[in-house]
């Protein structure tokens, strides 16, 4: 698979069809999806104003991929700093990374996401780079209640049922704070599929 930079260039390439450029945007989101693929895609479409009929505003695809690129650059810089620090710690004899309250500690987003938003339509409304920078700088103390890294605070929780899991979400921004398995519900699963079809088609 080509890298993020290659697909970003394709989004910018006006010689390609808008469908091909949109497909490259989708691939970029696959490669970096702080909220999970669906919620990140929805956030970018809303923030950049990506229309249902792509040909009416192809520049929206560029706005979306540039917002994603800026957020990813912040994350990559943080990763590079962390790797350098761990190398120094290992060289000094510290083999295990110590908990420091950062997003890397146990309890990071469900499903391996940066800050997982299981409901694709309920996620932070600030620009993606703003939220990513906030999460990178967050330091949460274990045992102090349901704290949200995206909001950096305790705003209370709301429960959300995906059809397979019950999530406790930040009441303000939809970031998952906890989850547990549940009995599958075909009605909820079908409703989720229909909602995702509207989000994917940029009609929601």
11-34 as b/e: b if 16+ CB within 10 A: beeeeeebeebbebbebbbeebbb
pLDDT digit string, tens, across residues 79-102: 898 888 888 888 888 777 777 777
Rounded to two decimals, the pTM is 0.88
Among residues 15, 14, 51, 10, the alpha carbon closest in space to that of 28 is found at 10
86-110 as b/e: b if 16+ CB within 10 A: eeeeeeeeeeeeeeeebbeeeebbb
Q: Which domain holds residue 73?
A: 4-200
pLDDT at position 65: 98
pLDDT at position 156: 85
Low-confidence ranges of the chain (pLDDT < 70): 1, 106-113, 141-146
pLDDT at position 141: 65
pLDDT at position 145: 63
Domains in the chain, number: 1
């Amino acid at each position: 698979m080509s890298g993020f930079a290659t697909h970003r260039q394709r989004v910018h390439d006006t010689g390609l069809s808008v469908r091909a450029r949109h497909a490259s945007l989708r691939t970029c989101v696959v490669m970096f999806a702080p909220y999970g693929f669906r919620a990140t895609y929805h956030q970018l479409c809303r923030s950049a104003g990506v229309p249902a009929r792509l040909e009416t505003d192809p520049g929206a695809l560029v706005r979306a991929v540039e917002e994603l690129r800026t957020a990813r650059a912040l994350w990559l810089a943080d990763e590079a700093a962390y790797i350098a620090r761990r190398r120094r710690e290992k060289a000094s004899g510290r083999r295990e990374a110590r908990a420091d309250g950062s997003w890397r500690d146990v309890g990071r987003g469900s499903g391996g996401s940066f800050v997982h938003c299981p409901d694709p339509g309920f996620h932070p409304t600030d620009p993606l780079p703003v939220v990513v920078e906030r999460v990178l700088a967050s330091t949460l103390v274990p045992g102090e209640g349901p704290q949200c890294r995206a909001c950096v605070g305790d705003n209370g929780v709301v429960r959300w049922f995906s059809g397979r899991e019950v999530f406790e979400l930040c009441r303000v921004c939809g970031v998952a704070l906890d989850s547990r398995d549940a009995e599958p519900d075909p009605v909820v699963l079908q409703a989720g599929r229909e909602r995702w079809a509207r989000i994917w088609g940029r009609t929601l």
